[in-house]
Structure 1
Amino acid sequence: MWEQLQLAWSALWERRGRTLGAIAGIVIAYIALTFALSVGNAFRISSIRLFQALGTNNVFLVGSFTDADVASVKVYTAPYALAVIPVSGALGSIRLPNGKIEGVNIYGVPAQDVKYLLPPSSLALGTNAVGGGLAIVGYYVAFDRDTGAQLLAPGYPIVLDYGGKSYNLVVSGVLSLEHPGILNTVTSVVLDEAQFKSITGVDTYQIIVVTLRDSSYIERVQSLLKAVYPNAQVITLASLVQTINQFFLGLEVFLGLVPGVSSVITALWLYDTMTISVLQRTKEFGILRAIGFKSRQITALVLYEAIIIALMGIGVGAVLLAPLSLVPISFFPGMPLRVTPPLHIALATASLVLAVNALGALAPAVRAGRLNIVEALRYE
């Protein structure tokens, strides 16, 4: 075997122009396939983490609700719920100290329930207190999106514009990008429910969050709310994560199709390269057979050449993937995602590329092993 590997390496070096071309094709195919699947995998994991931040014990009722609906939900879920939290929303803007005007989502949440939606761990700065003119702001309200410079801090005054009027507030806390949840943590202003109503005049709720005492109650509460509110959406973490997971698994397959085709093209390229090589080395193979090489050894020799080319391409591709993982991709607003190929994807794509290219070289290798010795020695 060692002798065959040496012969394979010598043969590749003698026709290094074609060898380098085949290696380059495999490098491109391996990088494209691995990176595409890694992007899909990274998006899937980030999405699941994002929605897991909504809370494992929460059930979300989405629609348009009144105070009477909130009271009804509290009654229906009383044996199971730790809290029933209505959330209102509107669009407004904030005038920042640097002169910029930032569009924001304005949320209204009962002051006593903010701790369930925005625990201290969800804050980059300050506290989660609202009411009395206090407001929690999104990360890119407090920090400049382009430079990262801090514009606001707890205790700073801000001016909220809504409906042509201005309202003076004081920052109590700044939301962190690392703990996304049901509320927009990027560009938002969270107010006490009463203050939200006085500013916006909106007296309906878009979401009612039911925080359960135990996750074992989720299916029971979900069925109950669906029966009571058949026209509303009842969302749970389990169903949401399952849907997200299925979507991104499909996306991974889709992203892998195009670079997967490139792997097949490189296999055809290698087939062509090895076919030409076998024709050019017909007399060489005849000599090897004449001095005692068996048919299967000739076949193995050609396959070793293809495997060496594939391994070199994969190795170079793996090295080039490292800097690609440092390039941030914007997935969720304000949350750049760095794509680091997981080991299982890198190994799986390497195995696929290796197998496809070995398969591409199989026919020329078998043909080389079956050459007639006498005719091969006469070949010019």
Structure 2
Amino acid sequence: MIFINLAVRNLKRHKVRSFLATVGIIIGVVAIASLGIMGSSFSTLVGGMVSDVSDTVLVTPHRAASSGDPFDPRNTLAASISTKNVGLIERAAGEHRVVPMILASDRLQVRDTSGYATIYAMPAADIPFLLEWEAGLYPQGRSSGVMVGSLLADELNLHPGSRIEIGGESVRVVGIAAERGMGIDINPDYAVIVTEDWYTERHGDQDYSQVIVKVSDLSAIEDVKASIDQQINRRREVVDVLDSREILEIYYETLDAMNIFLLGIGGVSLLVASVSILNVMIISVTERTAEIGLVRSIGARKREILRMFLYESLILGILGSIIGGTISAVVAYYASASISVLFADFAVSGEAGIPVSVVIGYVAFAMAFGIGTSVIAGFYPSWKAAQLNPIEALRYE
């Protein structure tokens, strides 16, 4: 107990130095916990984004570049799925519903508000299959009526009967699509939905941007994918065929890598703080060399001197970790509330908030890491103090 009191006394004697070392630990703990919680919250959000489309197979054009280099200019080449290939997909899918669609964007003008909006063009019969309506009617054939997503309608105060301009043409809103949330297949909440006939009448016949296959039996997903791949990619890669589980796995792999990167940044900041503790402890040993000699001369053992200085680094680590953990918990609470508000519109199901167990886990990990690095940083100066010769230490000036 006396050695703990000596450690506390020395830390109080050098308040500014001890405070600065503690601040470094606090920053490191907050960085690790906060960045870890942030990465986990985005993983939770992505999980909710695709939870309602597990019956979906997404067929997209295979890009010209296969090198994986994001700076390869071939990645920017436009790609599409021809009408012939859509027919092959329908043949391969058999009884399962196939929905080809064109994705585009055009200038949207509503009263004094203007900007660009995403446009989904698909066969009129497929719109009720993919989307539920909130108000009004579904667009039909070549009629000039369009459907808008619920969030876009709320933002621009639109309702069935409103008039908007798309690409300079005035059109009537005939229906509002019910809020659907973000998914891997279609994200209509901030989009304009039109029939394929309406779109091609104005822009000419075009190939499709993607094809959605809705599988009636989840156990048939692998067979449907294999059949499409064999039908179209027999000679060369024409399309990419993915289901929602594969896309979710890609998202998770990317987010896991990002999470490790974020934790690495926090870890570096904590290692920098441990260097500060190492510096503080070396200075403390140097300043107290004569005191160490006196304590050794009256019977203190090496391991007791080692413990006395280790207690100093341990106290700094515990104090900094407790404060940092408390701050991290508060940050996590507000981050969870903010993410729930910002991304609630995009989550398909569940809440976008951060689970309490995740917060506790990351805070506990950060605190343990903070205490551990503090003890490790203080071990060498403590060992050095314990090895001092008592006679030489007493004569030190």
TM-score, normalising length: structure 1: 0.82
Q: Distance in 1 between matches of 2:295 and 2:217?
A: 75
Post-superposition offset of 1:206: 1.3
- Of stretches 8-17 and 336-345 in structure 1, the one that deviates more from structure 2 is 336-345
Residue equivalent to 1:210: 213
Name the structure 2 match of 1:147.
none
* Counterpart check, 1:152 vs 2:158: yes
In 2, Cα distance between the equivalents of 1:30 and 1:248?
21
Distance 1:51 1:127, change over 3 A: farther
Q: CA deviation at 1:214?
A: 2.5
Quick check: 2:325–2:364 contact (8 Å CA) kept in 1? no
CA shift for structure 1 position 316: 2.1
1:171-210 to structure 2, matched below 5 A, reads 171-175=175-179, 178-210=181-213
CA contact 2:144–2:171 (8 Å) conserved in 1: no
Which letter maps to 1:256?
A: L
The amino acid that maps onto 1:188 is A
The change in CA–CA distance for 1:115 and 1:314 in structure 2 (over 3 A counts) is farther
The one-letter code matched in structure 2 to 1:5 is I
Q: Which of the numbers 89, 96, 103 marks the counterpart of 1:73?
A: 89
Matched with 2:37 is 38
From the superposition, tell whether residues 168 and 134 of structure 1 become closer, same or farther in structure 2 (CA, over 3 Å).
Answer: closer
Q: Which structure 2 residues correspond to residues 264-275 of structure 1 after superposition, within 5 A?
A: 264-275=271-282
Letter in 2 for 1:151: N
Residue of 109, 117, 134 corresponding to 2:130 = 117
Partner of 2:100: 86
Moved more, 200-209 or 331-340: 331-340
One of 310, 313, 329 as aligned partner of 2:317: 310
SS in 2 for 1:175: coil
Deviations 1:238-274 (A, max 9, x none): 2222222222222222333333222222111111100
Q: Letter of the aligned partner of 1:361 in structure 2? A: G
1:165 aligns to 2:169 (yes or no): yes
Deviation digits for residues 259-314 of structure 1, max 9, x if unmatched?
Answer: 32222221111111001111212233334334443321221221121121112222
CA contact 2:109–2:115 (8 Å) conserved in 1: yes
Q: How many percent of aligned residue pairs carry the same amino acid?
A: 22
Report the TM-score, using the length of structure 2 for normalisation. Answer: 0.79
| Distance across 1 between alignment mates of 2:39 and 2:137 | 35
For residues 320-340 of structure 1, the C-alpha deviation after alignment (integer angstroms, 9 at most, x for no partner) is 335544365899898698889
Runs of 5+ consecutive residues of structure 2 not aligned to the other structure: 62-79
Q: In structure 1, what is the Cα distance between the partners aligned to 2:54 and 2:148?
A: 24
TM alignment of 1:238-277, pairs within 5 A: 238-277=245-284
Distance between the aligned counterparts of 2:189 and 2:344, measured in 1?
7
Partner deviation per Cα, 1:66-114 (whole Å, 9 max, x = no partner) = 44433432222225x2x211122222233224x1013111112334433
**1:116, 1:378 → 2: CA distance?**
90
Residues 1:186 and 1:57: Cα distance change in structure 2 (over 3 Å):
closer
**1:115, CA displacement in angstroms?**
5.0
Structure 1's unaligned 5+ residue stretches are 145-149
Cα distance in structure 2, aligned partners of 1:306 and 1:187: 55
Shift of residue 116 of structure 1? 4.8
**Paired letter, 1:306:** S
C-alpha distance 8-214 of structure 1, shift in aligned 2 (>3 A): farther
Matched, 1:4 2:3: yes
Query: Which of these residues, 330, 351, 363, is aligned with residue 380 of structure 2?
Result: 363
- Check whether the contact 2:153–2:176 (CA below 8 A) recurs between aligned residues: no
Q: Given residue 158 of structure 1, which amino acid in structure 2 is its aligned partner? A: R
Aligned residues: 363
Tell me, yes or no, if the aligned pair for 2:293 and 2:388 is still in contact at 8 Å.
yes
Match of 1:13 in 2: 12
Instruction: Give the alignment's Cα RMSD to 1 decimal.
Output: 3.2
Which secondary structure state, in structure 1, belongs to the residue aligned with residue 209 of structure 2? Answer: strand
Q: CA deviation at 1:368?
A: 1.8
Residues 128 and 173, structure 1, Cα contact 8 Å, conserved in 2? no
Query: Which has the higher mean CA deviation after the structures are superposed, 28-37 or 125-134?
Result: 125-134
Question: Match for residue 228 of structure 1?
Answer: 231
Q: Aligned equivalents of 1:203 and 1:184: distance in 2?
A: 21
2:56 to 32, 55, 58: 58
Structure in which a larger fraction of residues adopt strand: 1
